[in-house]
Amino acid sequence: MPTVEVADLKDDDFLLDVREDDEWQAGHADGALHIPISEFVARYGEFTEAAPQDGRVHVICRSGGRSAQVAMYLVQQGIDAVNVDGGMQVWADAGRPVVDDKGGAGFVL
C-alpha cells in the first residue's frame, strides 16, 4: 500500500479523513473532507464529487490503520490514493494545524 509522510504533504493536497464523528469534531486538518470509514461505501458518491479528478487523494485517520483500508479500496476503484503514515497523531506532533468543528484549536482523540 503506497504511503506518504506527513512532512511530504503540501497545504493544497487533498486530504480525506475517515475517522468517526467524535474524532473529527475534536480536531482535524482544516480543509479535509470527512467521511467516516463506517459510512464510506454508502457515501462514496459524496467523495467522488469532492475529490480531484486528476490529483492524488491522501487518506488519513488517527494512526494509519483505517486510512490504509480506505486507501486500498480507492486504489481498487482506480483512484490514485495513498495512506498518510502515522495519521493525525503524527500530523499534530509535526505541528500541523488542528481545528475543531467550530474552527477553533482542536486536538487529536
Just list the catalytic residues.
61
C-alpha cell at 36: 467516516
- Name all contacts of 4-10 with Cβ < 8 Å and 24+ positions apart: 4/58, 4/82, 4/83, 4/84, 4/85, 5/85, 5/86, 6/84, 6/85, 6/86, 6/90, 6/91, 6/94, 6/96, 7/94, 9/58, 9/84
